[in-house]
Amino acid sequence: MAEVAWFENALGNFVPPRAAVPSATAIDTAHFKRHRTIFISDTHLGTRGCKAEALGDFLAHNDCATLFLVGDIVDGWRLKRRWYWTAAQTHVISEILRKVDNGTRVIFVPGNHDEFAREYAGRLFAGVEVIQEAIHETADGKRLWVLHGDRFDGVISFAKWLAHAGDWAYGWALRLNDLLFRVRKRMGLPYWSLSAFLKHKVKNAVEYISRFEEVVAEQARLRGVDGVVCGHIHHAEIREIGGIIYHNDGDWVESCSALVEDAHGNMEILRWADPSQRRSPRSQAPLAAPHGRIKAQALPA
């Protein structure tokens, strides 16, 4: 796989959507919401953990000009071992394709669980653009670096001394991490995820999350962007770190969260209630959980 510089993949100017085609699917318009951009990641389609019913419901009730799929959308590792696919997961795919048909620009930035798709960067599949990493420009002109975030796994364990060693050391650590990934792949070993490893080995997950956030923000700062959007650690967040706006869109395994941008460039984390949990009378309430920032608890599988 050829190394592609992040800026070569940078998106051009924002492309307005084509005129929307009326949807064939009946949608509860009272709860329908339009955003400028939606970011989702870590849906892990193909696994039992995927909250496909909630995700399909979210996609049916939220529209956007641009949809970013920020990696670990289809879980290629699990599918290799055992096929797990449901009608709800098929519904997720058809909702994404319906958005493509209605003029939404859909951009897929692969993650480590769907790294097979990285080989196809620059190509178009069923109207979905595959891209290694992207730059998204918000309505208020901020440049956001969009990537899954797994490439920082190997860096985080060194992060403490790297913080003292300086910028060049981060670059070398990243290259080492990429090399380790290629060597393991050649040997037929699965991608080694520090995050998954730490989930089992380290009690202090909070420290791991904050290290990840700091490393990603530092890399964003070195690239001269205003902010970053990533996934991977299954921990939704919006916060400023050293002048960089760090966004994480969470996951659809536990927290059912998405990151959305409105017409003015305001970013917000939405948490979507699982429709299967809405059977009680209390669930007559709005389909969406209250909007606002959330704290997801889970680390990635």
Alpha-carbon span 221 to 219, nearest angstrom: 5
Amino acid at 265: G
Among 111, 154, 227, 250, binds Mn ion (CB under 5 A): 111
Whose Cβ is closer to Mn ion: residue 65's or residue 229's?
229
Restricting to residues 215-254, name those near Mn ion by CB under 5 A: 232
Partner residues linked to 245 by β-bridges: 227, 240
Q: How many CB atoms lie within 10 A of CB 273?
A: 18
- 61 forms part of the interface with Mn ion (CB under 5 A): no
**Segment 131-170, which members bind Mn ion (CB under 5 A)?**
150
Told to check if 41 binds Mn ion by CB under 5 A, we report no
CB nearest Mn ion: which residue?
232
User: Does position 72 bind Mn ion by CB under 5 A?
Assistant: yes
What is d(CA 192, CA 169) in angstroms, rounded to the nearest whole number?
21
What does R_g of the chain's alpha carbons equal in angstroms?
19
Number of amino acids touching Mn ion (CB under 5 A): 5
| Closest CB to Mn ion among residues 104, 149 | 149
CA dist., res. 243 & res. 241, Å (int): 6
Our CB check for Mn ion shows the closer of 133 and 150 to be 150
Pair 300, 234: CB distance under 8 Å: yes
Backbone angles phi, psi at 270, to 5 degrees: -105, 140
The answer to whether 112 contacts Mn ion (rule: CB under 5 A) is yes
| Helix (H) or strand (E) segment spanning residue 222 | helix 205-222
Cβ distance to Mn ion smaller for residue 72 or 133:
72
Q: Minimum distance from CB of 193 to Mn ion (Å)? A: 7
When the beta carbons of 9 and 41 are compared against Mn ion, the nearer one is: 41
Q: How far is the CB of 202 from Mn ion (least distance, A)?
A: 17
Smallest distance, Mn ion to C-beta of residue 147, A:
11
The answer to whether 231 touches 216, Cβ cutoff 8 Å, is no
- Give contact residues for Mn ion (rule: CB under 5 A): 72, 111-112, 150, 232
